[in-house]
Structure 1
Amino acid sequence: MTTMSWETIEEAPRPQAPAEPVLPDEVIRTDIAIIGSGMGGGTMAYALKDSGAKILIIERGHRLPAEPQNSDLDEVYLKGRYKNADTWYNGRTGAPFKPGVYYWVGGNTKVYGACLPRFRASDFEETQHHDGTSPAWPFSYADLEPYYTRAEQLFQVRGQIGEDPTEPVHSEAYPHPALDHEPDIQALADSLRGQGLHPFRMANGLDADTPEKRALCATSDGAPNEAGLKSDAEKIAINPALESSNATLMTDTKVIRLITGPDGSTIVAALAERNDQIIRIEADKFILAAGAVNSAALLLRSATKEHPRGLANSSGLVGRNYMVHNSTFFIGINPFKINRTLWQKTLGLNDWYEAGPTNPYPLGNLQMLGKLRASMLKMARSWAPTPVLKAMSDRSIDIYLTTEDLPRRSNGVSIVNDKIRIWWEPNNLEPHRELVRRVKRAVRKAGYPVVFTERMGIETNSHQCGTAVAGHDPRSSVLTPECRAHDLDNLWIADGSFFPSSAALNPALTIAANALRVADAILAAGDATERARQRAPEA
């Protein structure tokens, strides 16, 4: 394959909107258009539902059905029943791949493992890593803390303060008690604690506090949950928003371009495709929450004569600084012991998350996986006999290791012939290798002598972020600290695009908390405008 360079892509002309777009088949008018219904878009819809504004939620997929196949591992993993994303391409090699994103009402949260931690306070500060500096955010942990509390209450998070030494300050307790470990995971936690480590019960949004409920959730890490026991964005945010008289959901609708007004500083409409028709959606405010890749791609595809590099891109940073985490699947096997755990995603470990006496740089996070099964392993090792994979997974503990991926201008998103290309060269890998080494030692001491590991590649991108970074300076950021585009008066981004850094934890709760924060800023600005209008003397 021919290796391409980002410079080649950057020099290529952008597709530009025609001066007069083709006449749409339908025109829809609303006050606020939210593009995407996942964690960011769903939470925004919920937060704005009582504002009095008409809200239109636009989702390119439809509702994922609750059906027996939700927990059929062959259907989910081997047949890819719920994978509905389009093909993306490796920017450097041109090789196609299926990304780890999902187009359903609720977005990726329909299949996520419901792991909902807060970022650590240090994640919002400038931090030195092995391969460089992780930049400070334009707001602090203290600024976001009240919204973390609101997001935990909204998404019914289960957790326990005081078990993890790195846990930041909470103004209120978790709304629900932490899920306890099942016996085999409790034994692992006891061993880790005996080694001087500090395992804790992870914060999560799974209603699985009885054996009966755990049985219903046993396959829900990476798959839908038919019983509705997962705190996904459809259940928690979208459905309550639709119960108000102000919100409407439009499914199977793909936004293909944003249209600016004559002055180029305001978006006046979104063009969307639905059932082979073109729909023009006009609104006063647009909130983009399609995921870090698709949000950046839409801005790039919306280039005009006035915005030749794409909308909101005077800084040249739209699509740049793409981050996804350095991640490894880790399997420890005790050949002589069956692991009967139904849901093992209850244990976490952050002893090496921050720099300390034994690690001069941050290493990252350990969290358990829900529970690997033979079909999941078969997807990655199709050549391996299923009975062998079943014997392995029956005797395994399954771990996900995460190390921070640092922002790099050379990592990003571009559009070539209307196809999404992902440019990603992992960095900060030595701390990740050290994290894997330390966990190997600890797991073997805990009684799992056989260890298999595999680092994830470009297609594992459910934690994507950073493609429209927030900051104070328009020259070095795309968004204001309140996540409004510097270049556009009425566009906000509510997904992980705004992250200045990726931290080393699941981003879902931070996206939700920030959406609540941004919604408050939008509401406050609207209130201020209305008060000014009322004070203005009549002409």
Structure 2
Amino acid sequence: MQTNYDYIIIGSGAGGGTIAYTLAESGKTILILERGNFLPQEKENWDTVEVFEKERYHTKEVWKDKNGEDLHPGTGYWVGGNTKVYGAALFRLREEDFGEIQHFGGISPSWPLKYEDFEPFYDKAEKLFDVHGKAGVDPTEPFRSAPLPFEGVADEPRIAEVREGLTKMGLHPFDIPLGVKLNEKNLLQSKCIKCDTCDGFPCLLHAKADSDINCIRPIMNRENVTLLINAKAEKLLTNDEGTKITGVETNLNGEKIIFEGKTVIVSCGAINSAVLFLKSANEKHPNGLANKSDQVGRNFMKHQNAAMLAMSFKENPVKFQKTFAINDYYFADPQNENFKFPMGGIQLMGKSNRYMLTGDAPFFTPSKVLSEMAEHSVDWWFMAEDLPMPENRVEWKNNQIHLNYTPHNEEALDQLLKKFSKVLTEMEDHIKFLPENINVSKKIPLAGVAHQNGTLRFGNNPETSVLDINCKTHEIDNLYVVDASFFPSCGAVNPSLTIIANAIRVGEHLMALETN
């Protein structure tokens, strides 16, 4: 087996898969280490009980929270990472998100780079991941140099009715930018069939634009690319000076193998990337690799998220519900004199059914009641910004991951839920929803780590950051990170597109270094 490569990429999710795709054009030898396997195409992909109740595609690992209680994380290890089950909502951060913003719960810090530095890479990311949408409707939308690659996904009748009602109230519902392989003008040529098992499910038809389908499979058979599955990177080894990675100690199907790479790129997800750095402590890096700043694992963020079933007397027979979002309260509610802080964004989410509601229902709730609730609800996702706090951190203790996390800025999420619940009850009679106390809302607990970010932040100052502006560690010359670990703040939009755009940016930077 070949053990020496130009690039070793650890992880194949949004960041790892994208940078592998980008670097494949260089002709350099690339090794992709993926601790999981290919997610199987099987009928259970579309089985709600298997996916949500039994968590078929989540890891069986048990982590610990700050109180030492068991934590069962909602994350999975597959070729393509968590993009295999993501909702494919591919938003750009707002231009203002790259600057300092005062929130109710504290400060969202500025980035060392600005939106204009990422904008051309956002364009490339949207093309690579088949993004559908329409520009120019969202009032918070940043400038763009090119239109979205594909038209937005059309609303079904009940959803179109709700969109129209919100528009009449002066709001600006806009198409969610979605990464799906959909051709609504010619459905015979469309992989996507707009089913009700997209958001949170693996796609049985491979019609979701994920890192596996859009990045890894197109390159995995190239002569210069090697993909190893069931290959978990256990430790990063350095030279005696601690300035260079000399090997990646890997568990390959139970066998220990050390791979060598001129450049090592870590993309294990913000939590596991930080853990890999901490596990790799040595004499020159006693507190974990590249951790003189004591920032490795700190500033963990995951967004303040909630789901809500808005109930009405009118049935909602929708299949593909996740088509529009609302950002009118992203930076503030102009009508609320008592809360002048950013609140966040609202999105439609995948349509719920009674099986999804079972886990949160009282034990005596009959299945018929749950079915009625699902059939009469419109399902919404609320997202407020999480703020970077040094005490919110990832730790590796007693051979186990610990998430020491206390929520911050929850007031923004509470205000957003309260505001939009009121809006829904004020809509026209044929559209409006039942009083807000009838709605079923649930805040997403710590185990919901799909939006994990911030644990290896980038910056210009080695004393306050782990990575430089090109996502290379300040202390180690050939070690890069391209997942959401690098985020100094997280805005209130899904992180995937920013991860993808940054991976393209870093990949092109590495190729430019090779030619200089």
TM range (shorter): over 0.9
Q: Counterpart of 1:52?
A: 27
Letter in structure 1 aligned against 2:329: W
Letter in 2 for 1:425: T
Which of 58, 63, 74 aligns to 2:38? It is 63
Range with bigger deviation, 425-434 or 377-386: 377-386
Structure 2 counterpart SS, 1:148: helix
Query: Deviation digits for residues 328-361 of structure 1, max 9, x if unmatched?
Result: 1111011x32211111111100001113633521
Correspondent of 2:392 among 411, 414, 433: 411
Aligned partner letter, 1:103: Y
1:121-177, Cα deviation, whole Å (9 max, x unpaired): 001111111121111111110000000000001101001111111111110001100
Is the Cα contact below 8 Å between 2:180 and 2:192 reproduced in 1?
no
* Structure 1, gaps ≥5 residues long: 1-25, 529-539
Letter in 1 for 2:342: P
- Of the three residues 312, 327, 335, the one matched with 2:290 is 312
Aligned position for 1:455: 443
- Work out whether 1:362 is the aligned partner of 2:342: yes
Which residue number in structure 2 is paired with residue 78 of structure 1?
53
Is the Cα–Cα contact under 8 Å of residues 179 and 209 in structure 1 kept in the other structure? no
Q: Which amino acid aligns with 1:400?
A: W
Q: What amino acid sits opposite 1:186 in the alignment?
A: A
Code of the aligned partner of 1:489: D
- Matched with 2:270 is 292
How far apart are the structure 1 equivalents of 2:217 and 2:192?
24
Deviations 1:278-299 (A, max 9, x none): 0111111100000000000000
> How far is the alpha carbon of 1:207 from its aligned partner?
2.8
Deviates more, 1:357-366 or 1:261-270: 357-366
Alignment of 1:73-222 (within 5 A): 73-90=48-65, 92-210=66-184, 215=193, 217-222=195-200
- The answer to whether the Cα contact below 8 Å between 2:457 and 2:488 also exists between their aligned partners in 1 is yes
2:359 alignment counterpart: 379
Match of 1:333 among 311, 324, 327: 311
Query: How many angstroms apart in 1 are the aligned matches of 2:183 and 2:325?
Result: 18
User: Structure 1 stretch 238-247 or stretch 428-437: which is displaced more?
Assistant: 238-247
- Distance of 2:500 and 2:342 partners within structure 1: 25
CA distance in 2, matches of 1:304, 1:524: 32
Task: Select 1:434's aligned residue among 415, 418, 422.
Answer: 415
Number of residue pairs the alignment of both structures matches: 501
Amino acid at match of 1:378: T
Deviations along 1:171-198, whole A, 9 cap, x unmatched?
0001100111111111111111121111
Asked whether 1:266 is paired with 2:244, we answer yes
**Aligned pairs (5 A) from 1:515-526:** 515-526=503-514
Structure 1 distance, partners of 2:457, 2:266, is 14
TM-score (normalizing by structure 2): 0.95
Stretches of structure 2 that go unaligned for 5 or more consecutive residues are none
Contact 1:296-1:318 within 8 A present in 2 as well: yes
Q: What is the DSSP-based 3-state SS (H/G/I as helix, E as strand, rest coil) of the residue aligned with 1:283?
A: strand
Corresponding residue for residue 353 of structure 1: 330
Relative distance call for 1:399 and 1:145 in structure 2 (3 A) is: same
- Residue 273 (structure 1) shift: 1.0
CA distance in 1, matches of 2:362, 2:69: 20
Is the deviation greater in 379-388 or in 121-130?
379-388
Partners of 1:134 and 1:197 in 2: how far apart? Answer: 26
Question: What is the CA–CA distance in structure 2 between the aligned matches of 1:36 and 1:187, rounded to whole Å?
Answer: 42
Asked whether the 8 Å contact 2:333–2:343 carries over to 1, the reply is no
Change (3 A) 1:214 1:526: closer
Mapped partners of 1:519, 1:475: distance in 2? 25
SS at match of 1:453: strand
For 2:320, which of 323, 326, 343 is the aligned residue? 343
Q: The residue matched to 1:170 in structure 2 has which SS?
A: coil
**Residues 271 and 281, structure 1, Cα contact 8 Å, conserved in 2:** yes
Q: 1:521 to 1:172 in 2, by over 3 A?
A: same
TM-score normalised over the length of structure 1: 0.91
Output aligned runs, 1:467-478, within 5 Å.
467-478=455-466
TM superposition shift of 1:68: 1.3
Contact 1:289 1:495 in 2 (8 A): yes
- Measure the CA separation in 1 of the matches of 2:253 and 2:177: 41
Instruction: Pick which of 269-278 and 400-409 moved more.
Output: 269-278
Whole-Å separation in 1 of the counterparts to 2:453 and 2:417: 23
User: Could you tell me which amino acid in structure 2 is paired with residue 74 of structure 1?
Assistant: V
In structure 2, the residue matched to 1:393 is 374
In structure 2, C-alpha distance between the alignment counterparts of 1:230 and 1:379, rounded to whole Å: 27
- Aligned-residue Cα RMSD (Å) equals 1.5
Cα distance change, pair 27–243 in 1 and its aligned pair in 2 (3 A): closer
Looking at structure 2, the residues matched to 301 and 435 of structure 1 have their Cα atoms a distance apart, in angstroms, of 39
Amino acid across the alignment from 1:460: G
Contact 1:253–1:274 under 8 Å retained in 2 = yes
| Whole-Å separation in 2 of the counterparts to 1:413 and 1:428 | 19
Distance 2:371 2:3 in 1: 52
Aligned to 2:214: 236
Cα deviation per residue 1:296-322 (whole Å; 9 max; x = unaligned)?
000000001111100011100000000
How far is 1:386 from its partner?
A: 2.4
CA change 1:55–1:477 in 2 (3 A) is: same
Aligned to 2:403: 422
Instruction: Give the residue type in structure 1 aligned to 2:141.
Output: E
| Amino acid corresponding to residue 279 of structure 1 in structure 2 | I
1:93 Cα deviation from its structure 2 partner: 1.2
Write the distance in 1 (CA, Å) between the matches of 2:360 and 2:233.
33
Is the 2:59–2:73 Cα contact (8 Å) retained in structure 1?
Answer: no
Distance in 2 (CA, whole Å) between partners of 1:385 and 1:300 is 48
Counterpart in the other structure of 1:23 = none
Question: Can you list the C-alpha shifts for 1:3-38, whole angstroms capped at 9, x where unaligned?
Answer: xxxxxxxxxxxxxxxxxxxxxxx7722111100000
Native 8 Å contact 2:271 2:394 kept in 1: yes
Counterpart in the other structure of 1:500: 488
**Residue 34 of structure 1 pairs with residue 15 of structure 2:** no
Confirm or deny: 8 A CA contact 1:405 1:502 kept in the other structure: yes
Aligned partners of 2:374 and 2:160: how far apart in 1? Answer: 18
What is the letter of the counterpart of residue 314 of structure 1? K
Equivalent position SS for 1:30: strand
Q: Secondary structure at the match of 1:31?
A: strand
Counterparts of 1:307 and 1:298, CA distance in 2: 13
CA contact (8 A) 1:111 1:224 kept: yes
Name the aligned partner's letter for residue 493 of structure 1.
V
